[in-house]
Structure 1
Amino acid sequence: MTHYKLHLDDDGEEDFILVAIHCSEEAYKMAFMINKHLSMRLQRKKNDIELILDEVVSTFSLFEYESEQQYTKFYLVENKCKLTFEKIHTVGSLFEDENSEKMKISHLLPEFKKVDFFLKIESDIEKFPLRKTLAQLNEINEVISAYVVENQNIKSHNNLIFN
């Protein structure tokens, strides 16, 4: 009886470049600035990314652009979701309650808590002009810094699946 072995070279992970962006602007303004400086057409997707983190639903804005000339897809996604909770404390009396608001910040990639946005680039990595793109991002006045995140440093790969 003949036995066959399958050797899979692909490790199952998709190839992408992840650029971390530090910027204190809102997501729509960040998308506008990237569109302006990098000649893109990022558009907000109808459905944002919803994840259940720490028993709370967190929503992250997602923008997408597909360049047919470069065979490249770009995704701009927020890394931070600010949630406000109203907590009611009973003091001891029947009619006396104290209300307090509590703010919680959830992260799309918790291992990068200081990053405000990620630009995910799905492309033929060898042909993509990464240095030029990083230089253009860093030229935006509101951007503090932009740099590439190494894929092996990402622990939450599943949070970056947008399809």
Structure 2
Amino acid sequence: MANYKLILEDDFKDEFSLIAIHCSVEAYKMAFLLNQHLSLQLKRRRTDLDFSKHGLELSFPWFEFEDEFEYTTYDLLANSFKTINARTIASGGLFNDEASAELITEYLIPELKSADYLLKITSESQKLPIRKLLMDLNEINQVISAYTVEIEQLKSKNNLIFD
């Protein structure tokens, strides 16, 4: 009887470009600025990008725009999620309970901790004007810096595949 071996290859490679943005404004303001300066139409999705990590429920704001004429999808994601973890420590007495709170910050892409936002651009056409897009992004007053990220270098690139 013959043995057959099934070889599974990673054919699910999603080709996209990634831009890291350093900016201290809120997510809705960042989407507004991109809409205004880059002529996009980013809108907040009904559901955010949700993860469960270390027992915490993480929710990253997610804005999306599908350009039907250029066959391009733009996804703006916040890279960090901050929450307060409150603990009560009982010391055994009636009134000696101590309450402590710690600020916990989790990242969508931990390798890019300094980036505030990620702009994922998925396109079916091979000619994307990334340089012009970067120049326009860096000319926004509130944006500190924006640069492209090599996706192959990221260990947590699977966090960006959410279709």
Q: Same fold (TM over 0.5)?
A: yes
Tell me which amino acid in the other structure corresponds to 1:147. Y
Tell me which amino acid in the other structure corresponds to 2:140. I
Alignment correspondent of 2:68: 68
SS of corresponding position for 2:19: strand
| Residue 46 of structure 1, CA deviation | 0.4
For this pair of structures, how many residues does the alignment match? 158
Tell me which amino acid in the other structure corresponds to 2:150. E
SS of corresponding position for 2:37: helix
Normalising by structure 1, what TM-score? 0.90
Alignment correspondent of 1:126: 126
Tell me if the contact between 1:84 and 1:104 (Cα under 8 Å) persists in the aligned partners: yes
SS of corresponding position for 1:35: helix
SS of corresponding position for 1:32: helix
SS of corresponding position for 1:76: strand
Alignment correspondent of 1:102: 102
For residues 125 and 104 of structure 1, what CA distance do their matches in structure 2 show?
40
Tell me if the contact between 2:78 and 2:116 (Cα under 8 Å) persists in the aligned partners: yes
After superposition, the C-alpha distances for 1:82-127 in whole angstroms (9 at most, x for unaligned) are 0111111123313321112211000001111111100000013631
Tell me which amino acid in the other structure corresponds to 2:97. D
For residues 115 and 57 of structure 1, what CA distance do their matches in structure 2 show?
21
RMSD between superposed Cα atoms in Å: 2.0
For residues 11 and 135 of structure 2, what CA distance do their matches in structure 1 show?
31
Tell me if the contact between 2:14 and 2:161 (Cα under 8 Å) persists in the aligned partners: no
Alignment correspondent of 2:115: 115
For residues 125 and 157 of structure 2, what CA distance do their matches in structure 1 show?
18
| Residue 20 of structure 1, CA deviation | 0.4
For residues 123 and 47 of structure 2, what CA distance do their matches in structure 1 show?
23
Alignment correspondent of 1:23: 23
Tell me which amino acid in the other structure corresponds to 2:42. L
For residues 78 and 117 of structure 1, what CA distance do their matches in structure 2 show?
5
**Where do 5+ consecutive residues of structure 2 fail to align?**
1-7
Bigger shift: 86-95 or 59-68? Answer: 86-95
SS of corresponding position for 1:75: strand
For residues 144 and 124 of structure 1, what CA distance do their matches in structure 2 show?
30
Tell me which amino acid in the other structure corresponds to 1:107. Y
Tell me if the contact between 1:43 and 1:64 (Cα under 8 Å) persists in the aligned partners: yes
After superposition, the C-alpha distances for 1:116-158 in whole angstroms (9 at most, x for unaligned) are 1000000136311111100111011111110000011111122
SS of corresponding position for 2:84: strand
Alignment correspondent of 2:86: 86
Tell me which amino acid in the other structure corresponds to 1:110. P
For residues 154 and 20 of structure 1, what CA distance do their matches in structure 2 show?
13
For residues 30 and 50 of structure 2, what CA distance do their matches in structure 1 show?
20
SS of corresponding position for 1:29: helix
Normalising by structure 2, what TM-score? 0.90
